[in-house]
Amino acid sequence: MKKILVIGATGQIGSELTMKLRSIYGNDAVVCGYIKGAEPKGVLLESGPAAICDVTDAACLDAVVKKYEIDAMFNLAALLSVVAEGKPQLAWKIGVDGLWNVLEVARQNGCSVFTPSSIACFGPETPADNTPQDTIQRPRSIYGVTKVTTELLSDYYFRKYGVDTRSVRFPGLISYVTPPGGGTTDYAVDIYYSAVKGEKFICPIGAGTYMDMMYMPDALNACVQLMEANPDRLIHRNSFNIAAMSFEPNQILAAIQKQVPGFEMEYQVDALKQSIANSWPNSLDDSAARAEWDWKPQFDLDTMTTDMLKNLRAKLG
């Protein structure tokens, strides 16, 4: 990668990924792509180039790619699971129609493309524990439907046109930098904020509900590592299971209580979030990623908890 465009660069993942890529490839080599109403601010705006980049506008996207001589795109444009359920047509327009534009522009301009998938691509018929790399995918949420389509369409463009498409299936992502944006796994971020603020946490996900989770630094490393991987080693492309930890609400509560004695949580289950969570796997088998591009996470629940609490205390004062 020499010149990179991050689409959705002001979002939860994009804002951190843009800065990581700039730290590796140089500030001027990474363009922060955003839409009106979600303009970059602070260091994200000041540290490098930025451009309006709407995936639903193919001409706009093509103009940005040509202007900055882009050779790699990280396409992070999407509505997250809970938000998407309220706006299914918009979720499809951004997640699928938008991807089509991205892939066409990539085909015409010789770009590689990273478009993340998600554990939401699986459904209740999928084996829930140690979910295989290759298995049945019958999601029940519109977010999951768009992610399965993303995987298939990206593979199609690789096989038919030779577009270098690559992807990982993100688990729930936990970060202290950017607030969550409407995902089912957001409780695992919100709980740390409550702990630092000294508030009782109201958990919208029921006890015993396991979901795969990952600390953002590991997720960002996965993006870069996969895009830099030797293509000759890649048997799979769209999309790799990646995993770091799997826990249910009482386990993250216990991890926090080790460092914040007296922290309390009670359950008020959100029916929509719970129904989505129930259709997702408990844990993923990421052996294909480990074998094909040497994937390995650095954080587990305890080390992540230590880092989250330290950084949120500094952030919130």
Contacts of 215 (CB under 8 A, 6+ apart): 173, 174, 175, 244, 297, 299, 304, 307, 308
Spatial CA neighbour of 184 closest among 91, 88, 81:
81
159 and 175 Cβ atoms separated by less than 8 Å: no
Using CA atoms, how far residue 2 sits from 72, 228, 313, in Å, is 8, 11, 37
Q: What are phi and psi of 311, to 5 degrees?
A: -75, -35
- Pairing relationship of beta strands 4-7 and 112-114 according to DSSP bridges: unpaired
267 included as an active-site residue:
no
Contacts of 293 (CB under 8 A, 6+ apart): 225, 226, 229, 230, 233, 234, 240
Using CA atoms, how far residue 90 sits from 56, 94, 279, in Å, is 10, 6, 22
The continuous run of DSSP H or E covering 169 comes out as strand 168-170
Tokens 């890529």 belong to 21
169 and 114 Cβ atoms separated by less than 8 Å: no
34, 143, 157, 187: the catalytic one is 143
Catalytic (active-site) positions: 143
